[in-house]
Structure 1
Amino acid sequence: MIRCSSRRRGYGDRRRHESARPQRGGLLIPPGRLRASWRLRVDLGVTPPAGNPGRGIAHRRVASAEQGGTVPVRQGSRPLVPRRAQPARFDQRGTPVKRRTLVALGVTGAAVAVLTTPAAAQTSDPSAAVQAVLDNVWVLVAGALVFFMQAGFALLESGLTRSKNVTNIMAKNLADMSVGVLAFLAVGYALAFGSGNAWWGTEGFFLSGSALFEFGSSGVGNLSTATFFFFQVVFAATAVTIASGAMAERARFKAYLLFSLVMSAFIYPLVVHWTWGGGLIADISIGGAVYSDFAGSTVVHSTGGWAALMGAMFLGPRLGKYGPGGAPRPIPGHSMPMTILGVFILWLGWFGFNAGSELAADGVVMGVALNTAGAAAASTLAAGAVVWLKTGKPDVAMAGNGTLAGLVGITAGCATMNVLGSLVTGAVAGVLVVYSVFFIERKGVDDPVGAVSVHGVCGVWGTLAIGLFARYDDAFLGRDNAGLFYGGGGWQLLVQLIFVLIVLGWTVVTTGILFAVLRRFGALRVSAAEEARGLDLAEHGAGAYPSDPMPRDERAYERP
C-alpha cells in the first residue's frame, strides 16, 4: 500500500515521495507528483465503462495511465488514488491535464465560435469584432438584471401591503412584463425609436425593416436590434410597474391590464421618442445647453411616478386610511422581510439599469456603478436619520424607500457627475423622500408604497441635479456644457426644468384621461365588500397564504 500523510495540502517533501514504492501491479507515481490530498473511491466492485476508466462511478480497481496496472486494495477498503494520478486526468503522454486548462480551452473555443458567426464577420478588424461581442453581451446581461428588478418590485409592494392582497400584487407585476413585451414589440418600439417626425416614430412596427441579429443594426453603437430591443423593453416594463404599488389593494385587475397596455404601447414610448429617440425634447437648445437624462430619472421613473399619482388620485384612498377628520391612519404591511429583500434585489438590478445604459462595455461602466452605489448608500442613511429624528424610531421601511430614492435620483446623472456630486444627490433624495411621503399622505393621496415620492419627486430632483453637479469636462457625451457648480451657468438647469415639465404634463394628461374614463364606467375600483375581503380572493380566487383545506378531525381521513 502507498501511504502518505494528509497533514497538509500541497506537495510533500522529496524524501517522503522517493520512499513511496508501488506494490506489485501498482500505479507508478512520478516523484514530485504525489500530493498530500487524496481522492477516495468507494469499493463497490463495479466495473467502469469501457473507454472511461475511473470516471463517473466508484470501482474496485483503477487502471494505470501508462502501464495498465492496478492499485491493490484490501477487501472492503477504499483505494487511495492521488488526485493527479487519476487516469481521466491524463493525456496520452501521461502528463496531468489541469482543470483550468480545460476551462480555458472551452472559453477560447466558444469565443472563436462567436467571432466566426456572420454577425461578427462583418468587420475584418479582430479587435472591433471582439468589442462588438462584448458590447452586446454586456447589454444583454444588464437587461437581465433590469428584468430581475420585477421580482424586487413584486416583493417590495407585497411586503408593504396586507396579506390578503399579495396574489393580486404578484399578478400585476407578472402582467406588466407579459403585456409590456408584446405591446412594446408590436407598437411601442417603433413609436420610440422608429424614424418619423419629432413627435413619434412611423417605422419598425413588429420589429420590421431591420436585420435583428446583425451587430450595429440598431443604429446604436455595436448593438444588434435584438439586443437593443431587449434592453429597452425591460425599461418599458419598469416604467409601467411603478404605478402598481400606488394603486394597490383597490384597483380592478382588468382596469390595471388596460393601463399596462396603454402605458407600454403609447404613453411611455412617446416620452422615449422625444428624448432618447432624438425627437421633440432632444431638439430643445437654450444657450447651447440640451437636456440630459443618462438612464431615465425622468424618462422612466418620473413617467411611472406621475402615472402612479394619477392612479392613486382617481382611485381614492383605501377603506379606513383616513379618519373622520381626515387624519391619516397607518395601514402596516404584512412582511418587512419581503420589503427589504425587494429593496436589495432592486439595488442589484439598478447596476444593470444605470451601467447598462452606457450601451457598451467600456470604462464609463465602472464609474456609473460607483456613483450608483454611493448615491444609494448616502440616501439610505439620510432617509433613516431624518425619519428617526422626525418620529423617534428608525423606520426600516422608510430607510428602504430612501435607498430607492437615491437610486432614482442618481439615474439621470450617474455618468456625468463625480463621486462627490453623486453622494450629495443621493443624500438630498433621501431627505426629500421622507418629507414627500408625509406631505402626499396629508393631502389625501393614499400611496401604500411611496411610489410617487420615490419615483416621481426624486426623479425630478435627479434630473434637476444635473444642472447643478454635472462636470464640465465630459458632461453630456462630450458637449461643452456643465452644471451650475462646475462652470456651466444656469442654462442647463433651465433646460432640465423644461424637460421635466413637458414629461409631467404629458403623463398627467394622458393617464388622467384613461383613469377618468375607467372610473366613469365603474371599471376602475372594486366594491367595498371586495376590498374588505381582499383582492386575492375577490379578483383571483386564491389567497397567497391559504390555510389547510383538510378537515381537522383525523377520523375524517379514515377510509370507510
Structure 2
Amino acid sequence: MDLANETSSTSPTTTAVGSNEIDLKAIQNGLDTLFLLVCGLFVLFMQAGFAFLEAGSVRAKNTTNIILKNVVDVWMAALTYWSIGWAFAYGEPGNAFIGHNYFFASNIDNSFDGTGSVGDTGTADGYYVNWFFQFVFTATASTIVSGAMAERTEFKGYLGYCFFLTAFVYPVVSHWGWSADGWLQNGPNELVFKDFAGSAIVHITGGTAAFVGAVLLGPRIGRFDAQGRPVDSPGHSVPIAALGAFILFVGFLAFNGGSQLSISNPGDGAVVSLVFVNTIIGGSSSAILALLVFKFWYRVRGKENFWSLLITINAGLAGMVSMCAGSNDIYPWAAFVIGLIAGVAFLCWHSLMIKLQIDDPLDAVAVHFGGGMAGILLTPIFSFNGQEENGEYVGGIIYGGHYKAFQGFGWNLVGALTITAWTAAWSLLLFGAMKLVGILRVAEDIEIAGLDVAKHNEPAYPVISYQGFLPDQEVNKSIEDLRLTQMEKHSKKS
C-alpha cells in the first residue's frame, strides 16, 4: 500500500461516442474510489471479527470489557487520525521522518469538481477516500494490543494507549514506509521498503506494543502456578471466537487486496486476484501445518494431544499476516512456503511466550509479530519483481539473484528492526509510566470478580435475565451477590 506510487491511469481522458463525451478519467477515479471504499468497509468490519475472537477467548466475566475496547479502538482511531494522525503519516510537505500538514482535514482543496485524482491526497478526490482506507488500518494496529492485555487492564490506561498509538506511534511508522517522503521509501541506492499491506508497518507495530504491554502488565491471576507451569484458562465461547475468525479471514482479503489502491489501471484486476489467492494459500498452509504439528508434537513426546481449533485459527491468521508484505509480488507456491514458515514462527512464539510466563490470552504477539516478521523477511527472497535497477525490476533472491535483491532483503530487515525498536521504546515509556502511577492494571479483587460488573455495570450474561429458565434460588443468589458487590464498591468510594 504505497501512496508514494499511487497513480491514475494513463489512458485518454475522454472519448467521443456519437455526440456525447465520456470522461474516462472521471470513470476511472470513480471506480478506484468505489474499490477503496468497499475494501475499507470490509477492513472496518474486521473490528467485529477481532471483537468476537477476543470475546470468545476471554472468560464470561470480562466479555463486555473486551468488546468495549474494540468499539473504542474504532472511535478513538477516527478522531485521532482525523485530527493529527493523517497529518503525521501523509501530510505534504513532509520530511523523511514525519509529515506535517492537513491537521483536522485542513488545507484540502474542497472544490469537489472532479479535476483531481484518487492519488492526489491534497484534493477532495483523493483525501477523503484515502483517509478512510488508512484510518481502518490504524484501528487494526491499535486493536491488536487489546487481546494481549485482556482481562486485567485498567480501562483508562487502555484509553491512553489507544490515543497515543493511533495519533503518533503508528502514523510515524506508516510515514516512513508508505509516504513519498519517508526514509524507508528512499533508501540508499534507491532501495524501497517492500511492505505491500503492512506485515511490518501494521502487524509488527501492533505485535511489539502487545508484547511490551503484556510483559509490564504481568500475567492474569492464576495463569501460572508457583512453579511457573501454565494453568489452563480457557475462554468462555469457542463458537463466538470461531465466528470472529471467519470474519477476519474474509476481511484479510480486502485488507491485502485493497492495498493495490486502484482497480482501473491495466493489470490491477490481475494483481488483486493474485493477492486474494496468495492470502488464502498462505493462511491455509500455516493453519494446516500448525494443526498437525500441535497434535503430533505432543503425541511424540508422550503427552496428551488434541486437534486444536484455536491453534488452527490463530496460525491461519498468522499466515495471512505474513502475506501482507508481498502477496502482490510472489507466486502461489511461494505463498505456500511462506505460510508454512509463518506457521512455524507462530508455534515458536506461542511456546516461547508461555515459557517466559508472558500471558497473552489471544496469542496476539505470536500471530502479528511472528507472522509479520516472517512475511517482511521472506518477501525479498521470493519476489518475482523486487527492487528496481535502472527502471527495471531485478527480481528477488531466488528469481533474480541480483545484488540489489540481497540489498532489498537487508533494507527490509533494517525497516523491521527499526519499527520494532521505535514501537518498543514508546510502548515501554507509555506503559511504564502508567504502571508507575497505578493506572495500568486493575486491583486484584476486581480482576477476580471480573471487569464487566466492577468497571462497566453491564455484565455480558446477567443471570437475572435468565429468570424463569434457571432455578429461582440460583437467580436470587446471583442478584444478592451483585447487590453486595455494588454496596462494597460504594462503601470504598465513600
Q: Shorter-chain-normalised TM-score: which range?
A: 0.7 to 0.9
The residue number in structure 2 matching 1:509 is 425
Within 5 Å, which residues of 2 pair with 1:42-191? 126-191=23-88
2:108 alignment partner in structure 1 = 210
Provide the alpha-carbon RMSD of the alignment.
2.0
2:376 pairs with one of 452, 460, 463: 463
Report if the CA contact (8 A) 1:211-1:225 is conserved: no
Distance in 2 of aligned mates of 1:342 and 1:394: 19
Deviation (angstroms), 1:365: 1.2
Residues 152-175 of structure 1, C-alpha deviations (whole Å, 9 max, x = no match): 000111111111111001000000
Normalising to structure 1: TM-score of the pair?
A: 0.74
Q: Determine the structure 2 residue equivalent to 1:194.
A: 91
Cα distance in structure 2, aligned partners of 1:141 and 1:211: 24
Give the aligned partner of residue 447 of structure 2: 531
Letter in 1 for 2:235: G
Cα separation, 1, equivalents of 2:337 and 2:109: 44
How far did residue 473 of structure 1 move? 7.6
- Label 1:375 to 1:443 Cα distance change in 2 as closer, same or farther (>3 A): same
Of Structure 1 and Structure 2, the greater helix share is in 2
Which residue is equivalent to 1:246? Answer: 148
Relative to structure 1, the CA distance from residue 355 to residue 221 in structure 2 (aligned partners, 3 Å threshold; closer, same or farther) is farther
Q: Summarize the Cα distance change of 1:137–1:463 in structure 2 as closer, same or farther, 3 Å threshold.
A: same
CA apart distance, 1:474: 8.7
Distance 2:41 2:415 in 1: 29
Report the CA distance shift for 1:479/1:156 in structure 2 as closer, same or farther (over 3 A): farther
CA distance in 1, matches of 2:368, 2:362: 11
1:290 to 176, 182, 192: 192
Take 2:153 and 2:425, find their aligned partners in 1: how far apart are those partners? 20
Preserved contact between residue 210 and residue 225 of structure 1 (Cα < 8 Å): yes
Once the two structures are overlaid, the 10-residue window that deviates more, 140-149 or 462-471, is 462-471
Distance 1:200 1:191 in 2: 5
Aligned counterpart, 1:87: none
Cα deviations by residue, 1:251-290 (Å, 9 ceiling, x for unpaired): 011110111010110100000111101312222235x532
- After TM superposition, give the deviation of residue 426 of structure 1 in Å: 1.1
Gap change, CA 1:474 and 1:283, over 3 Å in 2: closer
User: What code does the residue aligned with 1:307 have?
Assistant: A
Q: Which moved more, 1:172-181 or 1:370-379?
A: 370-379
| CA distance in 2: counterparts of 1:170 and 1:472, whole angstroms | 42
Q: Distance in 1 between matches of 2:297 and 2:424?
A: 31
Q: Percent identity?
A: 38
Aligned position for 2:352: 439
Structure 1 contact 290–492 (Cα < 8 Å) conserved? yes
Structure with greater contact order relative to length (CA < 8 Å, sep ≥ 6): 2
Selected match of 1:318 from 217, 220, 241: 220
Report which of the two structures shows the higher radius of gyration computed on alpha carbons: 1
* Matches of 1:453 and 1:136, distance apart in 2: 34
Aligned to 2:457: 541
1:273 matched to 2:273: no
Aligned 1:281-430 pairs, distance under 5 A: 281-286=184-189, 288-361=190-263, 362-363=268-269, 364-391=271-298, 392-430=305-343
Contiguous gaps of at least 5 residues in structure 1: 1-123
Instruction: Provide the aligned length of Structure 1 versus Structure 2.
Output: 429
Partner of 1:219: 120
Alignment match, 2:364: 451
Query: Which deviations, in whole Å up to 9, do the C-alpha atoms of 1:54-79 show, x marking residues without a partner?
Result: xxxxxxxxxxxxxxxxxxxxxxxxxx
Distance 1:475 1:413, change over 3 A: farther
Question: Alignment partner for residue 486 of structure 1, among 399, 411, 436?
Answer: 399
Normalization by structure 2: what TM-score?
0.83
Deviation at 1:224, TM superposition (A): 2.1
Q: Which residue of 1 aligns with 2:491?
A: none
